[in-house]
Amino acid sequence: MSSPGTEARWWHGATLYQVYVRSFQDTNDDGYGDLNGVTARLDYLAWLGVDGIWLSPTMPSPDHDWGYDVSDYLGVHPELGTLADLDRLIGEAGQRGMRVLLDLVPNHTSSAHPWFVAASGDPASPYRDYYVWADPAPGGGPPNNWLAATGASAWTLDPRSGQYYLHNFLPSQPDLNWWEPRVHEAFREILRFWFDRGVAGFRIDVAQGLYKDAELRDDPPAPEADVVRSRFGLAQVYSANRPESHAVFRDWRKIADSYPSPRLLLGETWVGDLHALAAFHGHGDELQLTFNFPFIFAPFSAAALSAVVAETLADLPAGEVPVWTASNHDISRFPTRWCRGDEGKARLALLVLATLPGTCVLYNGDEIAMTDVDVPDALVRDLMRAETGARESRDRSRTPMPWDDSLAAGFTGAGVRPWLPGGGRSSRNVAAQRADPASTLHLCRELIALRRAEFAGQLMGYQQLAAPAGVWAYRSGGLIVVANFTDAPVSLAGVGGAGGVAGEVLIRSDRAAGAAAGFVGRWAGVILR
Ligand code: NOJ
Ligand code: CA
């Protein structure tokens, strides 16, 4: 944990680790990972060296969207454990110097939440205005053209009242109406409830979504190929991304800052425009951290990634830091998406992620270069996919953590069927890599340790250096990084202007014998000082 002097910005230079709880460690042999499983693996996470963990949804839910459909914001999902288990997890993590962030879902609830049950049963219910209702279009049918994440209309008719309700995701995930002041009050209480229990912050689901256009205007078209900017051919100009949401984050930031150790607000800010991303930081008075989807979806090339980094840093208000992450539970894992399974490339990616200024967020499995798992159609558990059949299932990146090479992978009991299939026996497991000092796991651990030693609590400088095509070289704090995204070794003499760069090699991503002195191997990186 950072020293008291850096407490106020402990996430600067930190490494956070996303735990997909259901797939991390099962302790009661029901095939689902649970909170006690996370606690059981805290020693591993402390060994890895992360500063904090973000737990995928922990609240009670019918699991139409695996916890992103919350039916009680003040509880713990019985399948994952109890409130006492969560308290214990937070306490045990704290003893090891790690903070715990929860996942908060303020854009929508489950249709099983008591608010929606009351609201949909009775148009005169005091909870009716907690949700977004609208009359059918003049000729009948949905009120406007907005689309849900499934590709279907974002509106479902409530036959009892003859009105439609809005759901930007599944029909069982009705959107909350943030024009209603009581929704604000309810979430203030939710924040305080968890902060008072020692939760260090929240990852905020669909942070760009909260307010919708008051006039419910149609969304305009957008090129469908642009995965960040377009939802099935529409730009979410009115169904999300409204300016009014910033006031919510200013309000929450005051609550977060009212604690002696400031609580962290990390937005799932799914926007394609880096100016819009920076705007979520306000004037340093909104979200402290924002996920950068343009970086995630950039091609794995020196030119593309360095361009996003430069623009992100240029756009952020003074004193604010970016987040670098490359995998999560919704997208293909980076060792597959960026690296096509090539472990050398994954090691290069980890070296870059760990040396960029700001906050690094790893997804469980990144540290062993875990790849996507093909989940056969019959075993798919992701309804968002099942409803449309269209896109690849998100389950590919949600499969159990491979702790060892046994059939159950150390995830669950022998003979127990895990909720999602494992990837089969593989050398990319934690036990094998922990026993091999040259493994990706050890590289990742060394990177995290260097990152902490150099960057913890710091607002660091970043400067891109001259380099041949395909090579990304930069100064980050006191380090020089040369990342070679090409098929041939490059000489350090050709990087950084006259005479090249030189210094002590602290870490190189290719295994020791991989490259001659003074060179960076193909698809490899070095860190110099
Ligand atoms: C983003 C979450 O990460 C995803 O899993 C979920 O389906 C949507 N938000 C809706 O909550
Ligand atoms: Ca379990």
**Could you give the CA distance from residue 464 to residue 307 in angstroms, rounded to a whole number?**
10
The label of the residue with tokens 């050709």 reads 494
Residues in the chain: 529
- pLDDT average per 10 residues of sequence, the chain (529 residues): 60 98 98 98 98 98 98 98 98 98 98 98 96 97 96 95 97 98 98 98 98 98 86 96 98 97 97 97 98 97 98 97 97 97 98 98 98 93 69 89 95 96 87 97 98 92 97 97 97 93 94 75 96
Residue 268 among the catalytic residues: yes
Q: How far, in Å, is the centroid of ligand 2 from the Cα of 412?
A: 8
Please report the pLDDT score of residue 115 as a whole number: 98
Nearest CA to ligand 1 atom 6: 68
Please report the pLDDT score of residue 225 as a whole number: 80
Catalytic residue among 26, 63, 205, 510: 205
Strand order of the β-sheet with 323-325 is 289-290, 264-267, 201-204, 99-104, 52-55, 15-19, 359-363, 323-325
Please report the pLDDT score of residue 58 as a whole number: 98
Angle subtended at Cα 210 by Cα 218 and Cα 184, rounded to the nearest 5 degrees? 135
Pocket probe mutation, ligand 1, options 70, 167, 169, max atoms within 8 Å of Cβ? 169
Nearest CA to ligand 1 atom 11: 68
Please report the pLDDT score of residue 386 as a whole number: 55
**Could you give the CA distance from residue 75 to residue 167 in angstroms, rounded to a whole number?**
23
Q: Two tokens at 483?
A: 């990342």
Catalytic residue among 26, 51, 268, 395: 268
Residue 446 among the catalytic residues: no
Please report the pLDDT score of residue 159 as a whole number: 93
Backbone Cα Rg of the chain: 23
Pocket probe mutation, ligand 1, options 206, 361, 388, max atoms within 8 Å of Cβ? 206
CA 425, 430, 435, 436: dihedral to nearest 10 degrees?
A: 80
Ligand 1 close to Cβ of residue 68 (< 6 A): yes
Residues within 5 A (CB) of ion ligand 2: 26, 28, 30, 32, 34
